[in-house]
Amino acid sequence: MTTQAIVCRTLTKEYQSSRKQPGLRGTLQSFVSSTRVKVTAVSDFNLEISPGEIVGLLGPNGAGKTTIMKMLSGIVAPTRGEASVLGFEPFRRDREFRRRIALVMGQKTQLWWDIPAYDSFQLLQRYYEVSNRDFKERVEVLGTLLGVTHLFHTHLRRLSLGERMKMELMACLLHQPDLCFLDEPTIGLDVVAQKQIRDFFKEYQRVHKTTIILTSHYMADIDALCPRIVLVLGGRKRFDGPIRDFERILGKEKFVSLLFREPVEQSHSMWRDLNPRWDPSGMGVELQIAEDKLREVSISIFSQFPVADYSTEKMPIERVLKELMTNPHLIGE
Partner 1 sequence: MASHEFAKWRTTIASSLARQMTYKVDFFLMLIAPSIVFVSVNYTVWRSIFTLRGDAPIGGFSMDEMLRYQCWSLIAAFLIRSHRSWDLSEDIRMGRITAFLLYPFDLWKFHACEFLAFQFVQIVMAAIAIITMITIGLIPLPPLTCLIPGLFFSLSVSALWFLFEFAFGLVAFWLEETWILRFVFNLFAVLLSGAFIPIELFPQSLQAVLRYTPFPLIASLPVHLFLGSNVTPLPFAFMMMAIWMAIMTLASIVTWRRGIGLYSAAGM
- Say whether residue 108 binds partner 1 (CB under 8 A): yes
Q: Per DSSP, which regions of the chain are E strands?
A: 6-19, 35-49, 54-58, 80-85, 101-105, 179-183, 211-215, 228-233, 236-242, 253-260, 277-278, 284-290, 307-312
Question: In the sheet that 6-19 helps form, which strands lie side by side, from edge to edge?
Answer: 35-49, 6-19, 80-85
3-state SS assignment for residue 36:
strand
**Binding pattern to partner 1, positions 152-191, x when CB under 8 A?**
---x---------------------------x--------
- Say whether residue 122 binds partner 1 (CB under 8 A): yes
**How many whole angstroms separate alpha carbon 60 and alpha carbon 89?**
28
Cβ 128 to partner 1 shortest distance, Å: 6
Cβ 147 to partner 1 shortest distance, Å: 25
Phi/psi at 110 (5° precision): -105, -15
- Say whether residue 127 binds partner 1 (CB under 8 A): yes
Nearer to partner 1, 102 or 289 (CB): 102
Nearer to partner 1, 187 or 294 (CB): 187
Cβ 109 to partner 1 shortest distance, Å: 9
Q: Are 54 and 224 in contact (CB under 8 A)?
A: no
**How many whole angstroms separate alpha carbon 166 and alpha carbon 121?**
13
**How many whole angstroms separate alpha carbon 163 and alpha carbon 161?**
6
- Say whether residue 105 binds partner 1 (CB under 8 A): yes
- Say whether residue 114 binds partner 1 (CB under 8 A): yes
- Say whether residue 44 binds partner 1 (CB under 8 A): no
Using CB under 8 A, list all residues that contact partner 1. 15, 66, 70, 73-77, 93, 95, 98-99, 101-103, 105, 107-108, 110, 112, 114-115, 119-120, 122-124, 126-129, 155, 183
